[in-house]
Chains A and B, each alone.
Chain A
Amino acid sequence: MRFLQGIHRWTGLILLIQLLLWTISGLYFALVDHHGMAGQQYARSPQPETLSPAQLTEVSASWWGDLDGVTKVHAYAQAGVPRVDVHHAGGVQYLDGRDGSVWRTSRDFAQQLAQISYAGPGNVKQTTAITHSRELHGWSGEGFRFDFDDDLNTRVYVDAASGAVVAHRNTPWVVADWMFRLHFIDYTGGRNFNNLVITLAALITLWFALSGLMLLIKLISTGDMRFSFRKYSVTAIVAGQPKQLVEPAHKTLLQALQSNNIVIASGCGGGGTCGLCQVKMADDTPISHADRALLPSRQLQEGYRLACQHKVNDVHRIEVPQTDARHVNLQLKSTKFITPMLRELCFEVLDRKLDYAAGQYMLFTIPAGAGRSRPEDIPEHFLSQWQHIENTEYMHSAVQRSYSMATAAGGKELVFTVRYQPQATDAPSPGIGSSFLCNLKPGEIIAAEGPFGDFQRQPGARRKLCFIGGGAGMAPLRALMQEELNDTASRPIIFFYGARNRHELLYYDEFMQHQQRGELTFIPVLSEPEKACLWQQDVGFVHEIAGKWLQSQSVDAYDFYLCGPPSMLSATLIMLKEHGVDETRIRYDDFGS
């Protein structure tokens, strides 16, 4: 569908002008008809002239005795003058039937012929001897042009060699001739519609028209062309307020929102190509091709769809995000390894300020190009973990990758933690997005879009907050906790954070300081502590430690915020379910899939 749309659009763009010209000239033909275009308004055929024996008495075969291959001899009278045309191998010899001399049309005789062929109200006002004319394509030689002083500016052309009236031309003919030039794309005046330019145009037009036809067939077959008077009701949540939309079933949600004056971004006007008209609906709503192509899987799972792709009667309730998502350019300010496999990147937003809520993420556009498996600046004390990773180069296409902001809003910079994804055994390359970002140098600029996501804190002054995270899942959790701590009345926080070993505990010192200041309870958990870690605290999987703690708690007091690798996330969700935690109390950010 998108391929067809692409063909239809770009061929349409190429053809735009010519399609208009074809339509204009076609309309002209249909309005004016043949008679108005041929220049024959004031033309008439000459009166038939019978031959008399007297006109033929002088005719002699000796006149053309030197011509080879004579196939036809034509005798006739023209304005009373006997004429003989001899068709021979080399062409036609025009003779004077009175004496056999080579025919020459005098200016006066030519004017007589022109007047015989003319039935209009005018008189000859000007005579010009010519050898060629722009109005006579393919004619050259000696001849005359006679201009008549009539309303159509008629001119009659006479060929001197044969005495033939070559053509009548007038103002309507000139207009028609231009229409033919436009219609046939032949600006030589030859009216040749087999020329190369029109051949090319015709082939593009075929693609254009056939792709349009296939799109139409698809639209009909998918029911998009259905027309219905039956109205359906959809609840749209706009800025937290429900609004009732009642629209015919065949309308798209985008149309319904727009006709109810609900502001929603749209760049392509419902074509399913810009991806801006995102709304949230039930997360089991079928995903269209355009949804799949334009929305990250993370958003699809959250129930985001394009409003232009879904009909009013397909859904009952939608949320219109108050999205401030926009395209920004980010310039890298600093980048450093904070664990052996993870970097912290600080970007400055160019252009304008970017507002976001903690827990939201940005979508980075990784341009196509060559990637490197190893960054150049691995600190010495982390080199041992990089030993087994070879330095390779690989080509990759453009991709989009999402990363959550690792700090609460308010600072000048956007901070991300990017975990390096080494090449898996069955993968063609290391992680494209992570390698690209890890290799990015300060000063370089990357395009991104955002903020997105609704992984945000739940309201409720008496609620307690339990964060459970693992690995790179730290980023949105840290932002959320910072945001909470920035509140004047911050609520109690407990934070379970799992990592493999001490090296991979992100921001350990920072959270220990928070704990010492009594701002939150921090419970780091290691799953594979090394001896060198000298680890005295919890060992195991983070969901197990959190589960044990939960046994002694009243679960209803807590809101849960989860983020981490897929296996950790699913294990934690199961654990929470086993403890009878209400689903609406759990928010999680599934960045792994």
Chain B
Amino acid sequence: MQYQSSSFRTWHRWLSLIVGVQMVIWAVSGAYMVLVQLPFIHGVHLTQEADGEIQDNSLIERFPDIVQQYPEAEHMYLVNRLVQGEFRDLVQLETDGTSVLVDPHTRSQIEIGRDDIYQLASVYYAKGDPQISEVRYLKSEAPSELNERFLPIWQVNFDDVGNTSLYLHPQTGEMMVRRHDFWRGFDIMWMLHIMDYQDRVNITTWWLRAFIFATFAFVFTGTILLVQTIWLSRRQPG
């Protein structure tokens, strides 16, 4: 029996220097994403429903009047929302992706202020006593954890274990996005996994493809060595 030690082992070793390190990164980032449950990453446990039960169902009958005043409305919602310190029945209008709140009695728009956001965020928050450390209005610059299409938006930061951030809609006060450190960790792992270190979305970069092709060679040389060492080595049983 004679096996060429040179080619496969040498190739495997030198490939490991390049591909192997990325494989470790894939294994570690993959393990994180696999081990931490996705709903937890999404922060389902962080929040609860913040709207109340509708008090006066008959307000629906005012919809035709409201539509006359807001003829572009595509969707109309009757909701019960915490505004200006109390839960009120309000109408939410949606047109081409933008939303407003309207008082069904006066048909005038309702502005959501910093205090409303503070209170709504406290109700949304489901992890016990809400410790809000910061409420910021983000107008033109989104943090890396938020897609720019959500701007402008309110950012509410909590002083808790996962550094929770909730993002609330500036016109309706609805919670749009949840973030916490496990999500941020996931995002970094995802970045490392797809090797797009810029925007963390592109899964088709040439270097990712190149690494995957090299991985085939790495797995191939490793398999040859495995066959040699486990099946054909005379000292190893089995």
Contact = CB atoms under 8 A, between A and B. Distances in A.
A16 B223 contact: yes
B52 to A, nearest CB: 7
B63 interface: yes
A252 B71 CA distance: 83
B233 interface: yes
B21 interface: yes
A270 B5 contact: yes
A379 B99 CA distance: 106
Contact of A206 (B31, B72, B213, B215): B31
A245 to B, nearest CB: 13
B80 interface: yes
Nearest to A224: B13
Contact of A61 (B10, B60, B216): B60
A308 interface: yes
A23 B77 contact: no
A375 interface: no
B200 to A, nearest CB: 13
Interface stretch (A209-217, A236-244, A383-391, A565-573): A209-217
Contact of B236 (A76, A77, A273): A273
Interface string B30-51: 1101111110000000000101
A71 B80 contact: yes
B2 A264 contact: yes
A203 interface: yes
Classify chain B's interface size: 35 or more
A269 interface: yes
Nearest to A265: B1
B8 interface: yes
A267 B53 contact: no
A395 interface: no
A258 interface: yes
A443 B64 CA distance: 104
A269 B209 contact: no
Nearest to B222: A12
B225 A30 contact: no
A48 B97 CA distance: 10
Contacts of B79: 71-72
Contacts of B16: 212, 216
Contacts of A216: 13, 16-17, 20-21
Given A267-B228, A269-B8, A271-B9, A75 B75 contact: yes
A23 B225 CA distance: 19
A58 to B, nearest CB: 10
B28 interface: yes
Contact of B34 (A59, A65, A202, A213): A202
A61 B57 contact: yes
A23 B219 contact: yes
A266 interface: yes
A9 B229 contact: yes
Nearest to A197: B34
Classify chain A's interface size: 35 or more
A209 B74 contact: no
Contacts of B8: 269
B4 A258 contact: yes
Contacts of B51: 71-72
Nearest to B224: A269
B146 interface: no
Interface in A218-238: 219, 224-225
Interface string B101-139: 000000000000000000000000000000000000000
A53 B63 CA distance: 8
A267 B233 contact: yes
A566 B225 CA distance: 42
Nearest to B232: A267
Interface string B156-170: 000000000000000
Nearest to B25: A209
B72 A50 contact: yes
Interface in A401-416: none
23 contacts: A23-B212, A30-B209, A51-B74, A53-B68, A56-B63, A71-B53, A72-B51, A72-B79, A73-B54, A73-B77, A74-B77, A209-B20, A209-B28, A210-B27, A225-B13, A265-B1, A267-B232, A267-B235, A268-B236, A269-B229, A270-B3, A270-B6, A276-B235
Interface of A: 9-10, 12-13, 16, 19-20, 23, 26-27, 29-31, 33-34, 48-54, 56-57, 59-61, 64-65, 69-77, 192-194, 198-199, 202-203, 205-206, 208-210, 212-213, 216, 219, 224-225, 251-252, 254-255, 258-259, 263-271, 273-276, 294, 308, 327
Interface of B: 1-6, 8-10, 13-14, 16-17, 20-21, 23-24, 26-28, 30-31, 33-38, 49, 51-54, 57-61, 63-65, 67-68, 71-80, 95-96, 203-205, 208-209, 212-213, 215-216, 219, 222-223, 225-226, 228-230, 232-236
Closest 6 pairs (CB-CB, A-B): A270-B5, A209-B27, A61-B57, A269-B3, A53-B64, A73-B78
